[in-house]
Chains A and B, each alone.
Chain A
Amino acid sequence: MLMREALAALAACAWLAGCAGPAREAGALGGDPGRGAMLIVRYGCAGCHEIPGIGAARGEVGPPLDGMGERVFIAGRVPNTPANLSRWVRRAQDVLPGGAMPNIDMGEQDSRDIAAYLHTLR
């Protein structure tokens, strides 16, 4: 609950500052960062990634996801927009076939929420 409020405050700040960063677009996509944080644990992202704010997330298989809100490319390949990140989270194999990150069987809203959380990371 506290986390959700903190994230909402963060998003509001970004908006007030008028920065056209990904976080603002994430809001436009209808992603809920608070729910995204819960889903990150549920879908096992923590097994492979270190993710700030997710206690159990200390995986060392893929890259740490700190600063995802500011990174230019996803996997060094596609522009880091909310739509692309949401697709990457769900369909990594379709974006980058043969990578270690699998396609994960989740609904589109779930991936939007996860992308929204990742885009709050500065």
Chain B
Amino acid sequence: MADQGDTRGEHRRRRLADGAACYLAGVVTVIALGLAIVATGAFDVSASAPHIRVVGWALRTTMVNSVKARAEPLPLEAPLDPAQVRAGFRIYDRECAPCHGGPGVPRDRWVSGLIPTPPYLIDASRRWTPGELFWIVRHGVKMTAMPAWCVQRSDAELKSVTAFLVALPALTPEAYARLRAAEAAPPAAEAPPPSSC
């Protein structure tokens, strides 16, 4: 009986050791492959060619999941405060529209040279919650051209921009043009709050 127990124990130990060796070999291979890509310049960093499909998918999916994991709920109930939406428009039109366009409003031409391409945001609030939009605007996204706007704008201002994004799907091209004609340029950016980001 005791002998059998020992054999079984040894068998289990050997299987564990084999498993660990396999796992280690896998980890080493992945690290070696990663280092090879880093060291040989195999990855094409040019923005004149699109990502290969799998890289584009991996980067986009990583971004979406990262935002969803980090964003906190932002209560922005309808009806939105029109003053807040207008304040958001003033910032959006000047600082966001060059890259993201608007209803009837194109992006600047050079923006088409960015990879990934900055999306038009007319239906952004149907893909993202207000909290997620606020998070993206505030923190930016690494390896895209999206900056962390917390450097330049206060949380209150970025909440206005978020409110504008939520209002955007209901804004006709004419309404956007009217806002453009009616609203002055945004006030100069406040000094960034010291602990905002």
Q: Which residues of A contact B (CB under 8 A)?
A: 38, 41-44, 46-48, 55-56, 59-61, 93, 98-106
Contact = CB atoms under 8 A, between A and B. Distances in A.
B106 A103 contact: yes
Interface in B77-135: 101, 103-109, 111-113, 117-123, 126
B118 A44 contact: yes
B173 A100 contact: yes
Given A44-B117, A106-B112, A100 B106 contact: no
Given A43-B112, A55-B57, 11 more contacts: A41-B117, A42-B113, A44-B101, A44-B118, A47-B101, A47-B120, A56-B60, A93-B104, A100-B172, A102-B101, A104-B106
B123 A61 contact: yes
Contact of B122 (A43, A46, A61, A99): A61
Contacts of B121: 47
A93 B103 CA distance: 11
Contact of B56 (A42, A56, A60, A104): A56
Interface string B67-78: 000000000000
A106 B123 CA distance: 23
30 contacts: A41-B117, A42-B50, A42-B112, A42-B117, A44-B107, A44-B119, A44-B120, A47-B117, A47-B121, A48-B122, A48-B123, A55-B53, A55-B56, A59-B119, A59-B120, A61-B123, A98-B104, A98-B173, A98-B174, A100-B103, A100-B104, A100-B172, A100-B173, A102-B104, A102-B105, A102-B106, A103-B106, A104-B106, A105-B106, A105-B108
Interface string B42-59: 000000001001001100
Contacts of B119: 44, 46-47, 59
A106 to B, nearest CB: 7
B173 A38 contact: no
Given A56-B56, A102-B105, A38 B50 contact: yes
Contacts of A61: 120, 122-123
A40 to B, nearest CB: 10
B189 to A, nearest CB: 26
Nearest to B124: A47
Contacts of A104: 106
B123 A59 contact: yes
A36 B35 CA distance: 35
Nearest to B99: A44
Most buried by B among A41, A44, A56: A44
